[in-house]
Amino acid sequence: MKAIIFDFDGTLANTLPICSYAFQKVFKEFDNKNLSLDGIKAMFGPSETGIIRKNLTNVNKEQAIELYYKAYSENHSNLVKPDKEIDDMIKHLKDNGIKIGIVTGKARRSLDISLKALQMDKLFEIIITGDDVVKPKPHPEGIIKALSLLGVQNNEAMFIGDSDADIQAGNQANVHTVGVQWLPDYHTQEFNTEPNSSFDSVQQLVDLVNKGVQNEL
């Protein structure tokens, strides 16, 4: 295993609460609509700008997008906390020479807010956001692009995510897929698309990497 590529929301950071808060604020203010968490999750796929442009009925979509980012930024520190286990896991992967990247449906703007707030902004060799692809997950475009930029073959990489779209994208890119439910809030309660592996703790990934390293010795 030469590279591990991660989804972001619900996989590397417990950001679903801040995403939900910002979407609920936008749709309430502009459409007078109360969105449930399930309703928000059902819209996931495109970036947040894509979600707002597609689903908001109010014509003032650019204003709504700016409100989203304002709510996301101002409330991030209250709703999203650093996770020591995730931080230690990333360090462990890098210490073992594994390239790490992100393929996320988030727009670059919100991802940058989260990465900077969580002091994760200098950890990844490659980052592909929803702004960098024509077709979002479950299409494999982002993962295929990440593999190319990392210089690894699909049989040398793993994609880790918390949604069916993540697993479908990884499967179509022919990489080892891992479905995770290791953070307090995640997208999929039960995977409809079967991942190659399923982890409910960060330590399981660390153990897998350690096993691979020992096999090489």
Report the SS3 class of residue 19: helix
What is the spatial distance between Cα 7 and Cα 146, in angstroms, rounded to a whole number? 12
- Determine the average pLDDT of the residues in 197-207: 94
Q: Cα 69 to the chain's mean position, in Å?
A: 17
Q: Taking all residues of the chain, what is their mean pLDDT, rounded to a whole number?
A: 94
Q: Residue 216: pLDDT band by 50, 70, 90 thresholds?
A: low
Whether 7 is a known active-site residue: answer yes
Q: What is the pTM of this model?
A: 0.94
What is the spatial distance between Cα 145 and Cα 170, in angstroms, rounded to a whole number? 12
End-to-end C-alpha distance for the chain, whole angstroms = 14
Residues near 89 by Cβ (< 8 Å), separated by ≥ 6? 202, 205, 206
User: Which pLDDT score, from 0 to 100, does residue 217 have?
Assistant: 39
What is the spatial distance between Cα 30 and Cα 139, in angstroms, rounded to a whole number? 30
